[in-house]
Structure 1
Amino acid sequence: MLPCRLRQVCSLVPRASACVVSGENFLVRPLVQLQHRALSTMDFSSDVLTMENKGNAVAMLRLNRPKALNAVSDDVCRDLVKALQMVDADDAFRAIVLTGSGEKAFAAGADIKEMDSRPDFPTVARMDMLQHWNEISKIRKPVIAAVNGFALGGGCELAMMCDIILASDKAKFGMGGTQRLTRAVGKSKAMEWILTGNFFTAEQAEKAGLVSRVVPADKLEAEALQLATDIAKMPYHAIVMAKECVNRAYESSLAEGLLYERRAFHATWATADRSEGMKAFVEKREPEWQHK
């Protein structure tokens, strides 16, 4: 039996706010509690990452270590998590694009020099290396990876932590982790790429289902921004719920996923946009989304 009934919970939610399904027991929590004070991107400063407001409710984050092929150091990981969390909490943004600076790399793996400076297992275990990665996967707004070059090792993992991957026709992938890559492309292809250590092209990645689509290198950023703009135009709370449902399908059984999806569908009745969308459909007009 569910811990609480949707009707009971939604009756407590202020009008024109929303509910989000969450948790292993399919709890429903008021989305109004998850909204935060708008933050300015001017509050953010980093030597290894840039943040830009591209308009149309889209933020662009750019890994900025071109001389190191945007290798993912501790500083990069820490600042990226901070920037993503800032954008996630900022009501001015509804979609995010992540890319790398320069033409050669999205992120060519972890910073090997930094990793090699850790002397032994106790040191690595004590610091719980890579623990920050999990925070990237918790971002609620859609994140699009625009892979403009090498995405290797940690860079491949970073791309896979995003919701959609667009790749330039010059991009190359390789040395992805055993868990996300296997879920993305299946056991046989993952085994081949992981056990051989071979790189694979953007076209191969698209064919395997890792990449949404491949675009010419000189059009990658524009394509990614247009996709983010298209997503940002959609009703915000429905987009957040849809992302959570897809991730649930990725991580759970069909029965659990269908139950989660159904609860999320019910929760849309707590949003103003659900009512507007249905009225617009009946009246045969374009909806005017309020993102409420």
Structure 2
Amino acid sequence: MTRHFLRDDDISPAEQAEILDLALELKRDRFAVRPLTGPQTVAVIFDKSSTRTRVSFAVGIADLGGSPLIISTANSQLGGKETASDTARVLERQVAAIVWRTYGQAGLEEMALGTTVPVVNALSDDFHPCQLLADLLTIREHRGDLAGQTLAFLGDGACNMGQSYLLAGATAGMHVRIASPAGYTPTDQVVADATAIAARTGGSVALFTDPREAVTGVDVVITDTWVSMGKEEEKATRLGDLGQYRVDAELMGLAKPGAHFMHCLPADRGYEVTADVIDGPQSIIWDEAENRLHAQKALLVWLLAQNAA
């Protein structure tokens, strides 16, 4: 059966660790593994605008010896005259893998169903699993073993980053805290899934409404934009609802001494985070952004190897 990566818990704790180990190796030697030499092509499809995802996948595929085929759905039949499953059946005969940055999770699931090449979720409304691999890699580099680390995600807990932190953090054996107001909490199903994973890995999952309580004593403080793509018409409401979750120096001061700050970018300085924090000594956002390259390369290498076995 073809292995895909559509959400963070599509891989086991051991598999997650294996991918992160490989990412560290590829960061030390970018061209050590080249399974796409030929070059083989990887289709990278975008429904949404992108900087880090587009650059890191294009560069990473080239590093692995392959050729990235960047496709905009605005200039293709996908989502218009053609279904995701039909598009996948066309692409699978010509490409080694399919990467898709989209809106609905259901489209990714449809594309992966019965597809003979791996499908990778490069972002959906529900999850952002490639970003989480990069984030876990960054935490591991700066703080050591992931198991037992405590992190707090502040803001819109129902966004793809909040939900992916629950699943990926629990898979890594971390203690994950989500602080958000009513109406911005992760789905009950994702919380239940993460809780079940944490019970097996020694991690934990906790939901908070008070950001100060959530941040107290944690190792890593994380936030994300309050106005994600597709939510622009809700900006005024969101800024009002989420204002108390802004990460500033005072809030960072409640975290463990030496705690780190993370943000997947792009950031709205002055809204979800103040400039002195995101540009300050506790911030590791640039390592986090770079690690998209290494983590995604490792993921592709791992998926290709799994599907060749």
Larger radius of gyration: 1
TM over 0.5: no
